[in-house]
Amino acid sequence: MVKGVNLRVLPGKVTALVGESGSGKSVISQSVMGILPSTGRVSGKILFTDPLDGKTTDILQLPQDGEAIRSLRGSRMAKIFQEPMTSLSPLHTVGNQISEVLDIHTEATKDERRAQTEEMLGLVGFSRPSRTYDMYPFELSGGMRQRAMIAMALICRPALLIADEPTTALDVTIQAQILELLRELQHKLNMAMLLITHDLGVVANMADEVVVIYHGEIMEAGPVDAIFRTPQHPYLKGLMAAVPHFDMKPGERLKALREVPVNSDTLWAKKKQIENAPDILLSVRDLTKTYTTRKSGLFGGKGSTTVRAVDGVSFDIRRGECLGLVGESGSGKTTVSKILMRAVTPDGGSVSFDDGHGRIDVLAAEGDALMELRTKIQMVFQDPVSSLSPRMTVQNILSEPLEIHGRGDGAYRLEKVRALMQAIGLDQRYLNRYPHSFSGGQRQRIGIARSLALGPQLLICDEPVSALDVSVQAQILNLLKDLQKQLGLTYLFISHNLAVVDYMADRIAVMCGGRIVEIAPREIILRNPVHPYTRGLLAAVPFPDLDRPLDFETLQASGASDQRAWGAQFSSDGSGEGLAPADLGEGHLVLARRSVDARELRSW
């Protein structure tokens, strides 16, 4: 619901619309485009003045499916949607979908449409536009699909572009590329942009004006400089305090807008600590995993391609610590987590777990030993929607692990479920509700409670906050930190958000191309990184600070993972031979050529 909203988007300027999920951002964008569902009722005025002819049109006065609104939509006003995979048709090529816009709005011939589409594909960063034209969306990465969406939106050179969370699902390096692309095209085409986002770092680097919305009402609006330097409204101040950043002091907490009370007194936290328990809880050595894909043909071709998803990964997780694992999509982070959970079988390597009751070979465990191991290692998944069964109540979801492992009777399980609800700060009245009746942050809390049901020693958190707003993200991160402190948990925290990992982790391992390229204590790796890939990741993080803008000039156009820009010290000869972890001291290891001296790397 949106109530009495007033905002403006000036020609050639960027207005950022900032707020949490459910605040009304997308409703406003749908109203402007005339694509609001038929159940929606809109009153007021939406005035669109076309710079080409100076004519002003009240969009709300146009018939929703009339010729007038259709001539504007896609031509003079365009929109980039949040999720490019679901916004693009899987049945049509990228070129067909982009050129269809020209077919609807222009008199161009088929050959002219193809030429203009290929020109736009080149403009948004495709190196081989003619090849991309004939590709299907599933053949492109997330960043490339988003570029295709941008090309579709810009093909008719619109006067107004609405970008609805255009970088939420992207890696930090791809996000930086997309932001640079949008900024360049906006200046080149003198285009107005309504940028919808909840990322204040993106706002600081892109916006000229900012509008802050909460529950359908504008809380604060003004130039970006005034909004960031002298925020007035408590909601805006709260949003800014909820964003993790690299300047946080040790022990400093994020200030969530709505704190989650944590009470784990009735859980299994009061177990006696095992005397002489080893310091290393989980030890991973030389993990490898290769996937083979067919080259062509539905039922197999003559050739195949092999991809090394995990390539000689080794690390230790110490008892009670949080090890952060960061890297871009496709770097192998999730494959490693699936191997640790026994969901994927590696080609080689070893994983051992020792909680003080004896060393367990994770990869060889079977039968009762495997069942027992699963109670000690649990996982928190990325998507709080798809990881919870829509057909089960919260009580069923939380008691299921206890039933599978034969823990107690019905009364005992109900008592444990209530204790879990209390631990994550949810009211016990919600036990008979289904997941769809909860917000994203509440669903993620239920996922965390499920992972705690069996009293694990190690939690593997795979991007647990990437789908959440910054305010809800702060809730979940604080909850995880509180639970770690109270229950003595150990975390493997996987993320591509370096600021989040900086807040959570004690040590950080950086993955690229299936290998760990750098691992060190948090304060070392984020303040004094050595590997070019780590430096590239850090350079691409947008700060919610006007005095620390993204340096688009130094960001690599090909991304941080392009080994050609790394230098000879860090690059392999193609086979991976000659690279080994160099010890720089204080637990700082960097993947480099064997011939390179550690002292040379320290001064690099």
Q: What was the pLDDT predicted at 270?
A: 47
In this structure, what DSSP letter does residue 582 have?
Answer: E
Q: From CA 475, how far away is CA 391, in angstroms rounded?
A: 26
CA dihedral 161, 162, 167, 173 (to 10 degrees): 20
**572 near 578, Cβ under 8 Å?**
yes
Q: What was the pLDDT predicted at 411?
A: 93
Reported pTM: 0.85
C-alpha separations of 154 from 140, 148, 196 in Å: 19, 10, 17
Place of tokens 């594909």: 121
56 alpha-carbon distance from chain centroid: 39
Q: From CA 49, how far away is CA 51, in angstroms rounded?
A: 6
Q: Tell which residue, 81, 180, 70, has the closest CA to residue 137.
A: 81
Q: From CA 222, how far away is CA 207, in angstroms rounded?
A: 11
- The edge-to-edge listing of strands for the beta sheet with 507-512 is 377-380, 458-462, 490-495, 322-326, 507-512, 515-521, 589-593, 579-583
Place of tokens 């850090």: 538
Q: Which pLDDT tens digit goes with each residue over 374-420?
A: 999 999 988 888 889 999 999 999 999 999 999 989 999 999 999 99
Q: From CA 388, how far away is CA 56, in angstroms rounded?
A: 48
3-state secondary structure 241-252: HCCCCCCCCCCC
Burial class (CB in 10 A: 0-12, 13-18, 19+), 586: exposed
3-state class of 402 per DSSP?
helix
| pLDDT-flagged residues of the chain (< 70) | 169, 266, 268-276, 293-303, 554, 556-559, 572-577, 598-604
Q: What was the pLDDT predicted at 502?
A: 92
Q: What was the pLDDT predicted at 558?
A: 55
Selected from 3.40.50.720, 3.30.200.20, 3.40.50.800, 3.40.50.300, the CATH number assigned to the domain covering 14-241 reads: 3.40.50.300
Helix runs in 242-390, H state only? 333-340, 367-376
Q: From CA 357, how far away is CA 177, in angstroms rounded?
A: 49
C-alpha separations of 294 from 90, 131, 139, 142, 582 in Å: 20, 20, 13, 21, 37
